[in-house]
Amino acid sequence: MRENDAVETPVLAVDHAAKIFPGNVVALADATLSIRPGEVHCLLGANGAGKSTLLKIIAGAHLPTKGSLVLDGVPQRFRNPLEAARAGISMIYQELDLVGSLSVAQNMLLGRVPSRWGLVDRKHRAQIAAEALEKVGAGFGLDVPVASLSIANQQLTAIARALTLDAKIIIMDEPSAALNETELERVFAVIRSLTARGIAILYVSHRMGEIRAIGDRVTALRGGRTVDTFPVAGTSDQTLVEAVLGRNQALLERSARAPCGDTVALSAPFLKGPHGLEIRDLSVREGEIIGLSGLNGSGRTSLLRVLFGDLPSTGDILLNGRPYKPKQPADAIARGVGLVPEDRKMHGLVLDQAIYRNAALPSLRRRRFISHDSLRRGSARVLGDLSTRFSAIDQPVRQLSGGNQQKVVFSKWVLNGSRVLLLDEPSRGLDVGAKAELYALIRRLAEQGAAILVASSELDEIYANCDRIWVFHEGRNVRCFDPTVASRDDILTAGLIGHRDASEIAP
Ligand SMILES: Nc1ncnc2c1ncn2[C@@H]1O[C@H](COP(=O)(O)OP(=O)(O)OP(=O)(O)O)[C@@H](O)[C@H]1O
Ligand SMILES: [Mg+2]
């Protein structure tokens, strides 16, 4: 028997659930879980462990191959998400499922438009949507198209949508992956008000700090099986990491790095771009890893897209000493510049194509005659370095877990032999072990001479792995830090205050 199950009747009990996909792909082998009313139940597991699969079974998006699901004492067999929603289970997907061209209000009530005399009741719809948006503290209107919102605000829309349902259980699959600390605090406040009303939350995250901040209990999954359920208080990080990885894993620590040379790979003395982007004196040398820190919307993504030719700019950029004016991504790729975008679903992958074809996309674009066997071998090697979990290199990317898709995006640019790598939140959705592997690979690429710019909202990561850290504020690069001497607090403060000159900050 798991910890204290007898204490209270669970709102949901999943017993020995399994999901096997055609071709005998075991996505979930044997998962058992019970959720109490009003608790935040976290789910922890490595990339590909089966978390999203388990959640989709609970939310009616997958029929389980084996096992049972009991909601409030009544056995259930949901055939689709609508049935689960009607029974009180609402899910916020890892890959958000909003329709970009529709408005916030339309998205929130998609599929269950309130009607009066059979017509769409716009007023009623607006009212329900507005109330839910207010609860999540959204600062945007009901009528804007979802595509125009940042990922963070799209996430808030999805949470608000879950609130418009009368849910007993709200499932959140890695909500924090797209949120900064302030936004996450807001989501946590929403979660606390929901649990106070007896609503249970099932919450997936790879970050231990979050599980500690919000979780009551945590269930660990490894290789598609439940390891155990633990109370969050009184269980050490060590115990949890061992439960999911089956081994000890050093958490992120700063490792010594060889100093890089003096050859400047890319420099932008002055640059202006959309959304108020204004860059001064930014440069990156061969072999150097530069971190970009700052709040969401501070200009990091805009800069990376400008450098990739994905957004227009004015000003000067030099690449390997020659003028560089990319008008489209193809210009950037031709000059050896690669981008791992923030939103892998929109820019990074062709989901229905084979893994190796995705990994080889930029190389295919450059060289028309290339053997597919060597592409298969090359991508398998890079993906192996990152311990990517897949069943065949010809499998469509859509079938991979979220974290493993991210590894495919990264491998594209490694295979392409990019000399300048622009990485926007590259570790988003990776488990602790995979994160460490990703940064080890980034460091290896730098040692081979690649120049790397990496934007991350997780300061710990860039603090441990970068040679220099530029802090962004309202579109400008305001201060540069040497992480071997600056403290984490200095860097965080600079991101919040945002002065360009250190002397402007009062002691
Ligand atoms: N539709 C599918 N067809 C085939 N295999 C699938 C399908 N969906 C998931 N899988 C496989 O099942 C395994 C579990 O995937 P799942 O998405 O549940 O992992 P996860 O724990 O959510 O990982 P992550 O932390 O990376 O999001 C993976 O190996 C994945 O490739
Ligand atoms: Mg997942």
Distance 185 CA to ligand 2 centre (A): 22
Residue 309: per-residue pLDDT: 95
Q: What is the pLDDT along the chain (507 residues), one digit of tens a residue?
A: 444 444 578 999 999 999 999 888 899 999 999 999 999 999 999 888 999 999 999 999 999 999 999 999 999 999 998 899 889 999 887 666 788 888 888 888 776 655 555 556 677 778 888 888 888 788 888 889 988 887 778 888 888 888 888 789 999 998 877 677 777 888 898 899 889 989 999 999 988 889 999 999 999 999 899 999 999 999 988 888 888 877 655 555 566 677 778 899 999 999 999 989 999 999 999 999 999 998 777 899 999 999 999 999 999 999 999 999 999 999 999 999 999 887 766 567 888 999 998 888 777 666 666 778 888 888 898 888 878 888 899 999 989 988 888 888 888 888 888 899 999 988 887 887 888 888 888 998 898 899 999 999 888 889 889 999 999 988 999 999 999 888 888 888 787 777 655 444 333
**Cβ atoms 413, 433 nearer than 8 A:** no
Residue 389: per-residue pLDDT: 86
CB of 433 sitting under 6 A from ligand 1: no
Residue 46: per-residue pLDDT: 86
The backbone torsions φ and ψ at residue 88, rounded to the nearest 5 degrees and listed phi first, read 105, 20
Q: Rounded to an integer, what distance in angstroms lies between the CA atom of residue 287 and that of residue 420? A: 10
Which of 19, 28, 52 gets mutated to test ligand 1 (max ligand atoms within 8 A of its CB)? Answer: 52
Residue 117: per-residue pLDDT: 58
Report domain extents, the chain: 12-245, 264-504
Smallest Cα–Cα separation from 53: which of 26, 23, 84? 26
Same fold, 12-245 and 264-504: yes
Smallest Cα–Cα separation from 109: which of 94, 136, 131? 131
Atom of ligand 1 nearest to the CA of 23: 4
Q: Which ligand is nearest to the CA of 404?
A: 1
Q: Which ligand is nearest to the CA of 403?
A: 1
Out of 3.90.1310.10, 3.40.50.1100, 3.30.70.260, 3.40.50.300, the CATH code matching 12-245 is: 3.40.50.300
Whole-angstrom CA distances from 12 to 75, 88, 202, 203, 254 are 10, 11, 11, 14, 42
Q: Rounded to an integer, what distance in angstroms lies between the CA atom of residue 91 and that of residue 170? A: 6
Atom of ligand 1 nearest to the CA of 431: 25
Residue nearest to atom 24 of ligand 1 (CA): 47
CATH 1.20.1510.10 fits 264-504, yes or no: no
CB of 403 sitting under 6 A from ligand 1: yes
Residue nearest to atom 12 of ligand 1 (CA): 27
Residue nearest to atom 19 of ligand 1 (CA): 48
Distance 390 CA to ligand 1 centre (A): 9
- Per residue, the 3-state secondary structure of 49-115, as one string, reads CCHHHHHHHHCCCCCCCEEEEEECCEEECCCCHHHHHHHCEEEECCCCCCCCCCEHHHHHCCCCCCE
Atom of ligand 1 nearest to the CA of 27: 12
Residue 98: per-residue pLDDT: 80
The backbone torsions φ and ψ at residue 158, rounded to the nearest 5 degrees and listed phi first, read -65, -40
